C-alpha cells in the first residue's frame, strides 16, 4: 500500500512521526486554552463554574459536579460576548485583569524551587481535597486551612521583625 513517493504507509500512527503530530496538536490546544484563559469573560466563567465543584463533591451531587465540569469546558471555548467594558460588569474589569496578570506572570516565571513546591502542593493537595470533600471528612481540610493561616501569620510576623 503505497501512499506517495516516500513509500510511507497509513500505519504510521504508532510511529514517532505520528506521535509528534499528536504532541503538536496537544501543544496547540494547550496554547489556545491559555490564551482563552486570559480573556476576561472566559476567566470569569471558568472560575464561576469551578466554584461549583467543591459543593458538588461535598454533597455527592453528580448534577452539580457535571454542571461544574461541563460549564468549565464550555467556558474554554470562544465566547461570543461583547467586551466586558461595554456591559454592566465593567466595574469587574480592573480586578479581573489584575488577577489574570498575576496568573500569567506566575505561568511565565521560571521554574524555581518555590514554584516547584507550589506545583507539588497543588498536585497533591487538589486530589486529596477532592477525596476529603467526597468522603465528607472536613477535619483534615479544616486543619490544613488552620495550618496555612498560622504559617501566614508567622511569615508576616517575621517580615515585621517580630520574633516567632
- Does residue 5 lie in a domain region? no
Query: In the prediction, which pLDDT does 4 show?
Result: 46
Query: In the prediction, which pLDDT does 127 show?
Result: 93
pTM comes to 0.70
- Does residue 9 lie in a domain region? no
Residue 91: all three cell numbers together = 466595574
Same domain, 41 and 63: yes
Give me the domain span that covers residue 41. Answer: 19-109
pLDDT in tens, the chain (164 residues): 444 444 444 444 444 555 678 888 877 777 877 778 888 899 999 999 999 999 999 999 999 999 999 999 999 888 888 888 888 888 989 999 999 999 999 989 999 999 999 999 999 999 998 999 999 988 988 998 899 999 999 999 999 988 76
CA angle 109, 47, 132 (to 5 degrees): 95
CA distance 79 to 58: 30
- Does residue 154 lie in a domain region? yes
Q: Return the sign of the alpha-carbon dihedral for residues 32, 115, 98, 67.
A: positive
- Does residue 38 lie in a domain region? yes
Amino acid at each position: 500500500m503505497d501512499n506517495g513517493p516516500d513509500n510511507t504507509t497509513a500505519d504510521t500512527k504508532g510511529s514517532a512521526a505520528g506521535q509528534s503530530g499528536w504532541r503538536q496538536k496537544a501543544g496547540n490546544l494547550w496554547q489556545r486554552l491559555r490564551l482563552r484563559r486570559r480573556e476576561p469573560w472566559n476567566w470569569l466563567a471558568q472560575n464561576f463554574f469551578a466554584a461549583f465543584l467543591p459543593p458538588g463533591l461535598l454533597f455527592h451531587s453528580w448534577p452539580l459536579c457535571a454542571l461544574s465540569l461541563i460549564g468549565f469546558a464550555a467556558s474554554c471555548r470562544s465566547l461570543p460576548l461583547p467586551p466586558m467594558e461595554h456591559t454592566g460588569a465593567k466595574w469587574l474589569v480592573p480586578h479581573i485583569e489584575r488577577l489574570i496578570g498575576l496568573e500569567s506572570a506566575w505561568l511565565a516565571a521560571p521554574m524555581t524551587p518555590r514554584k516547584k513546591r507550589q506545583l507539588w502542593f497543588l498536585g497533591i493537595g487538589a486530589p486529596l481535597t477532592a477525596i476529603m470533600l467526597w468522603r465528607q471528612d472536613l477535619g483534615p481540610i479544616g486543619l490544613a486551612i488552620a495550618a496555612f493561616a498560622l504559617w501566614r501569620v508567622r511569615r508576616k510576623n517575621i517580615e515585621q521583625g517580630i520574633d516567632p
